[in-house]
Amino acid sequence: MTGQTIERVTTVVIGAGHAGLAASKFLTDRSIDHVVLERGEVANSWRRERWDSLRLLTPNWQCSVPGLRYEGPDPDGYLTMTEIAEFIERFAKVSGAPVRTSTNVTRVRRAGDEYQVTTSDGEMRCRAVVIASGACNQPALPQFAAAVPVSVEQLTPFDYSDPGQLPDGGVLVVGASATGVQLAAELAQSGRPVTLSVGEHVRLPRTYRGRDILWWMDATGVWDERYDEVDDLTRARRLPSPQLVGTSERATLDMNALTEMGVGLVGRWAAVRDGRALFSGGLRNVFSLADLKMTRLLDTFDEWARAHGHDGEVGPPERFAPTRVPASGRLQLDLGSGEIAAIVWATGFRPDYGWLHVPVVDAKGQLRHDGGVVDSPGLYALGLPVLRRRKSTFIYGIEDDAREVIGHLAGYLAA
Ligand SMILES: Cc1cc2nc3c(=O)[nH]c(=O)nc-3n(C[C@H](O)[C@H](O)[C@H](O)COP(=O)(O)OP(=O)(O)OC[C@H]3O[C@@H](n4cnc5c(N)ncnc54)[C@H](O)[C@@H]3O)c2cc1C
């Protein structure tokens, strides 16, 4: 016995990003006593873990959380990091969320039919825990990153702030999801020679028939598709983010746009051997697949517009040029030659559950849950990919998920 006081609360929410705050809003609406524990500040990820030039890729009209939506002068624009952090801060204020900042959760374990939560500030006991600590706590790097010669500087999106920070010389950006294409474009525009290693990706135009592509996704219900209706849920949860960027020109940032900026494209990085990066030769197939999937999606949008009588309100159907395959497809690159001074790993992110001492994390480091109901009574999650819908990780996707997850939690507490 340590004599230490243990604070009691019905529910602990971990993380004060928009997901944790949405959980708090619905807990408050149901008069369920709770606290939101945050290791940094409200909207910490947007303030500390993103690069300087980043803007949301979702348009402002889509910036909405329970009880608060963007009402500024530019609904079709894209928020900067400062603006989104301020928006989430406002959400915390208007919802009156009981946030405790600078409170790191270092351990959660089961104690009888409750949970014991250890924080940098003391011990707590609660009946339910909502994990809203984020899906992108750390960069996901391939194992062969360790075999890259030390002469080449390596950065992740967490370390990267702006092109000026990199040593002079060529940059190899690895990964062609939203992060990879945005960083490749920014580095190329700063005058550096950039090579982009491209694996499976999701190609999308920024606008289609005069509307933001995300308008189409929303209107046709693509992102409302529920997790229990998705054909291959494991695959859907691993899908890379779409190649989109939020700029005032509403420009498309696909492989053709990057080629025009002078970015050299190589295939998926498969291994490092004798100081050489070895790339897969399947670029043509990777490009055709991305083109095919985009065209199929646009077909469904056209079909929807026709069937619902919207053809007159939008522009005429468009089709986009196939992705151009580089004439000289390089299959390897000597990392010791000096051609590449830095590598930026845009190979995705993963959550960090190092503090979770409940056996609910699988061998791949992912939580075992059914639509946010974690495999341990009273334990819940929010903000994970396709948690309950395709839109689950997007800001505007949290409201429906949080309402349902907190509804389940309330039922658990009442039972
Ligand atoms: C680069 C990037 C760009 C994105 N762009 C968009 C976009 O344009 N539009 C969009 O809708 N979505 C976007 N997203 C997706 C998503 O909206 C963000 O990832 C968002 O930050 C997720 O919100 P969240 O509340 O789930 O997690 P987070 O915002 O990450 O919040 C989790 C919080 O938990 C805290 N925390 C973690 N561990 C602990 C602990 N042990 N103890 C206490 N606190 C802890 C963290 O400090 C953090 O504040 C983007 C994501 C990334 C990575």
Statement: residue 148 has pLDDT above 70: yes
Share of the chain above pLDDT 70, in %: 99
Query: How many A from CA of 371 to the centre of ligand 1?
Result: 18
Give how many domains the chain has, as a whole number: 2
Q: Which residue lies with its CA nearest to atom 29 of ligand 1?
A: 17
Q: Is residue 115 part of a domain?
A: yes
Which atom of ligand 1 is the closest one to the Cα of 50? 1
Residues 238, 290: one domain? Answer: yes
pLDDT of residue 3: 62
- Domain housing 87: 7-137+351-414
Pocket of ligand 1 (CB under 6 A): 14-20, 37-40, 44-45, 50, 56-58, 104-105, 132-134, 136-137, 179, 349, 355, 383, 393-395
Closest CA to 286 of 225, 206, 216, 196: 196
Q: Which residue lies with its CA nearest to atom 27 of ligand 1?
A: 134
Which atom of ligand 1 is the closest one to the Cα of 133? 34
Query: How many A from CA of 186 to the centre of ligand 1?
Result: 23
Q: Is residue 111 part of a domain?
A: yes
pLDDT of residue 224: 95
Residues 250, 395: one domain? Answer: no
Query: How many A from CA of 16 to the centre of ligand 1?
Result: 9
Mutation probe of ligand 1 site: the residue of 63, 361, 393 with most atoms within 8 A of C-beta: 393
Q: And the tokens for 320?
A: 């986009």
Residues 158, 296: one domain? Answer: yes
Closest CA to 408 of 379, 386, 387: 379
> What integer best gives the mean pLDDT of the chain?
96
pLDDT of residue 298: 98
CA 264 to each of CA 160, 290, 336, 343, 358: distance values in angstroms, whole numbers, following the listed order: 21, 18, 19, 14, 46
Count of residues for the chain? 415
Please write the tens of the pLDDT for every residue from 176-188. 999 999 999 999 9
DSSP 8-state code for residue 380? E
Residues 181, 316: one domain? Answer: yes
Residue where one domain finishes, among candidates 345, 378, 401: 345
Residues 199, 58: one domain? Answer: no
Closest CA to 15 of 32, 34, 40, 33: 40
Please write the tens of the pLDDT for every residue from 245-262. 999 999 999 999 999 999
Statement: residue 115 has pLDDT above 50: yes
pLDDT of residue 1: 43
Q: Which residue lies with its CA nearest to atom 7 of ligand 1?
A: 56
pLDDT of residue 27: 98
Query: Do 144 and 272 touch, CB atoms closer than 8 A?
Result: yes
Task: Over range 235-253, report the average pLDDT.
Answer: 95
pLDDT of residue 328: 78
Model pTM score: 0.96
Mutation probe of ligand 1 site: the residue of 88, 136, 218 with most atoms within 8 A of C-beta: 136
Residues 72, 178: one domain? Answer: no
Query: How many A from CA of 339 to the centre of ligand 1?
Result: 35
Residues 123, 145: one domain? Answer: no
Q: Is residue 1 part of a domain?
A: no
Q: Is residue 2 part of a domain?
A: no
Which atom of ligand 1 is the closest one to the Cα of 103? 43
- Distance of alpha carbon 283 from its chain centroid, rounded? 25
Residue where one domain finishes, among candidates 345, 377, 398: 345
d(CA 304, CA 300): 6
pLDDT of residue 227: 97
pLDDT of residue 327: 86
Q: Which residue lies with its CA nearest to atom 39 of ligand 1?
A: 133
Task: Over range 39-63, report the average pLDDT.
Answer: 97
d(CA 297, CA 309): 18
Residues 64, 120: one domain? Answer: yes
Q: Which residue lies with its CA nearest to atom 3 of ligand 1?
A: 56
Q: Which residue lies with its CA nearest to atom 22 of ligand 1?
A: 134
Residue where one domain finishes, among candidates 345, 377, 396: 345
Please write the tens of the pLDDT for every residue from 1-42. 456 789 999 999 999 999 999 999 999 999 999 999 999 999
Domain CATH code at residue 197: 3.50.50.60
The beta strands (E) that lie in 3-104 are given as: 6-8, 11-14, 34-37, 64-65, 68-69, 99-100
Query: How many A from CA of 134 to the centre of ligand 1?
Result: 5
pLDDT of residue 329: 79
Residues 28, 169: one domain? Answer: no
Residues 232, 302: one domain? Answer: yes
Residues 197, 299: one domain? Answer: yes
Please write the tens of the pLDDT for every residue from 279-336. 999 999 999 999 999 999 999 999 999 999 999 999 999 999 999 999 877 999 999 9
Q: Which residue lies with its CA nearest to atom 19 of ligand 1?
A: 136
Q: Which residue lies with its CA nearest to atom 4 of ligand 1?
A: 56
Residues 60, 104: one domain? Answer: yes
d(CA 263, CA 214): 26
